[in-house]
Structure 1
Amino acid sequence: MRRYLLLLILPVLVMACGKQEIKEPVEYTGPLREVENMEMFYTENNNIKVKMQAELVYEFQNGDREFPKGIYMEFYDEFEKLESTLRANHAYYFKEQDQWRGRGKVEVKNVAKNEQLNTEELFWKPDDQRIFTEQFVTIRQQGDVIYGQGLTAKQDLSDYVITHPEGELEVNE
């Protein structure tokens, strides 16, 4: 009886000791850090230039950052007076290009001129202090609304060019 039992167990043991498959390690490409309820200030000569708030931030190994729940930024002049604001439903910072992209409902306001820009995608170059897009834009001024496709502007909307403008303007004679 022992011989038969051994003969039954031996093939099972031989099969269990077969070659094991070795899998290659999978490289992790997700975020290295995750920050919740972030508030950050960029300063120059002890003056606040930019205030940034985000509910959630992912930071990646290459230095890129993603803001999946949106971003809110305030831009200040050399006297720390609020010039403009930017809000986007989703944002991404590309470290290699030193460029930001806002998507979803993107809104830029010039506080002094009471103007507002709305679009679905907007890029910002901090070094140049310029914003630009190829998407459809709407600019609301006091009493006027300008529409168009594509825009380049200063980050505070004090000077802008709409590539293909449309709309009606009120002219005082």
Structure 2
Amino acid sequence: MKTSGIKSGILTLFLVQLMILSSCGDDDLKNATSISAKKITLSTDRSYGVDIIYSDSAKVKAKGYAPILDKVTPSQGAMYNEMPKGVKIEFYNDFLKPTGTITSGYAINKQTEKITIFRKNVIVVNDQITFTTEELIWDENKRMYSSPYGTVTSKKDGSVATGTEFTAPQDFSTYKIIQASGTTYVKGDLTP
């Protein structure tokens, strides 16, 4: 009884494969050949323990560290830098005093578009807030950060806001968050 079930299963599998192959027309096979002929090649230069310094008008504004930095040059399209093991960036004021950090488990810098995307456990810390998210985008042209979702914790009073469409200028001095919900603390007597 068991052998006839196995034979029946093999026969069914063979018939399904035959139907799949017979449904492929000549045009489909011709297209598959032309697609496979267009090979895409990537050239990757890998560096370990990379320190990056960002300056503006001869003043150090930020220092970054990436355990691994891949400089990728596709055969078609723009070059980009990928940090598959994450990145930590420390920001400085004009007196080289640290003002905040960004850490993430992954980052990609698209040089042509002047956009850096931080992903995986992204944490932004400065003296006013801590912002956590899974994706943060830095637009160098607009000098703005944006995120589709995140949580802001205020260091002044411990209030927490979670919402969508987070935006902040490059120094995180202010922020905007849409559809926010959370908790806040009010000092003083609230009785009428």
TM-score range, shorter chain: 0.7 to 0.9
| CA drift at 1:139 | 1.0
Instruction: Give the aligned residue type for 1:169.
Output: T
Within the candidate set 141, 144, 147, 1:133 is matched to 147
Which sections of structure 1, spanning at least 5 residues, go unmatched?
1-23
Instruction: Give how far 1:162 is off.
Output: 0.3
Pick from 37, 43, 54 the counterpart of residue 49 of structure 2. 37
Instruction: Kindly provide the CA deviation profile for residues 37-89 of structure 1, in whole angstroms up to 9, marking residues without a partner as x.
Output: 00111122332111010000111223310000000001122232222110010
Label 1:48 to 1:55 Cα distance change in 2 as closer, same or farther (>3 A).
same
Amino acid at match of 2:134: E
Moved more, 142-151 or 98-107: 142-151
CA distance in 2 between counterparts of 1:81 and 1:126 reads 22
1:152 Cα shift? 0.5
- Residues 22-47 of structure 1: per-residue CA shift (max 9 Å, x gap): xx79442242x111000111122332
Match of 2:15 in 1: none
State the aligned residue count.
Answer: 147
Whole-Å Cα distance in 1 between the matches of residues 104 and 184 of structure 2?
A: 27
Distance 2:182 2:161 in 1: 5
TM-score, length of structure 1 as denominator length: 0.77
- Distance in 1 separating the partners of 2:58 and 2:171: 21
Counterpart code for 1:140: T
How much has 1:141 moved relative to structure 2?
A: 1.4
Counterpart position of 1:165: 180
Query: Which of 46, 58, 63 is the aligned partner of 1:46?
Result: 58
Identity within the alignment, % = 25
Letter in 2 for 1:69: K
Give 1:84's aligned residue: 100
3-state SS of 1:60 partner: strand
The one of the two structures with greater contact order (alpha-carbon pairs below 8 A, sep at least 6) is 1
Matched, 1:106 2:122: yes
Check if 1:124 corresponds to 2:138.
Answer: yes
In the other structure, the counterpart of 2:165 is 150
For the 8 Å contact 1:73–1:87, the answer to whether it is kept is yes
* SS of residue in 2 equivalent to 1:170: coil
TM-score by length of 2: 0.70
Q: CA 1:157 to 1:78, structure 2 compared with 1: closer, same or farther past 3 Å?
A: same
Deviation at 1:140, TM superposition (A): 1.3
Residue of structure 1 equivalent to 2:11? none
Gaps of 5+ in 2: 1-36
When the two chains are superposed, the root-mean-square deviation of aligned CA atoms in Å is 1.9
